[in-house]
Amino acid sequence: MNNVNLRVYSFIDSLQPQLASYLATSSQGFLPIPGDACLWVEVAPGMAVHRLSDIALKATSVRLGEQVVERAFGSMEIHYRNQSEVLAAGEKILQEINHQVEDRLPCRIAWKEIIRAIAPDHATLINRQLRKGSMLLPGKSMFILETEPAGYIVQAANEAEKAAHVTLIDVRAFGTFGRLTMMGSEAETEQAMYAAEAAIRDINARARAET
C-alpha cells in the first residue's frame, strides 16, 4: 500500500473520563472506557482504511471503536486497556503503508478562541444543535478550537481535559476540520487552551515538514 497518504497518526496514552464517554456515545463499534489507550488514524484514499483496520484487528487484541469512510479520507479509532497492544497495532499499520510516525501531516490550528460569559440565547442555540456532550451553561466561558486535519482534535481534547477543570461540550473529528467546544471558568478555559496548543506542538515536533 505505497500509495496511501498518512494524514493523522495520533496516539493517546489514557483516555480521560469525559472524552471516553463522549466517544462512546457516537461509537459504531466497541465502546472505549476511561483509561484506555487509543489510536486515531486518518488516511487518503478513504477506502484504504478498511485494509488497515483488518490488519490491526488480526494482529493484536485492540477493539475497533470507529471507522468512517468519506469521499477523500478514511478514519479509524482503535483502543485497548494495554498501551503496548495499541502501539503494536499502530506499528502494523505503519508497516503496511510503508510510513513512519514522522510522515503524518502536521496539525494546523485553523481557529481558536475563548468567548467569555456566554449569552443565554447563544448557549441555548448550541445546546439544541447536534451535541453529544454536556450542556453549555450561560455565563460560563467557552473555548473553541478548530484543527486541520480533523483527527488531531481528539488528542487536543484529551490533553485539555487532563490539564483543566473544564466540561466537554462537543468534539467532531471527521471531515476536513476537527472542532472542539469546552466550557468552564475563564481561568480554566485558558488553561485548557494552553494544554491543547501544547499537544499540537508535540504532534508537529514529529510530523512531516510543511512545504
102-117, pLDDT tens digit by residue? 999 999 999 999 999 9
* pLDDT for residue 2 is more than 80: no
Q: What is the pLDDT of residue 79?
A: 98
Q: What is the pLDDT of residue 156?
A: 98
Q: What is the pLDDT of residue 210?
A: 66
Specify the pTM: 0.95
The pairing of strands 5-12 and 37-44 is antiparallel
DSSP designation for 36: -
27-64, pLDDT tens digit by residue? 889 999 999 999 999 999 999 999 999 999 999 999 99
Q: What is the pLDDT of residue 132?
A: 84
Q: List phi, psi (to 5°) of 67.
A: -150, 120
CB 158 within 8 A of CB 198: no
User: Residue 4 is which amino acid?
Assistant: V
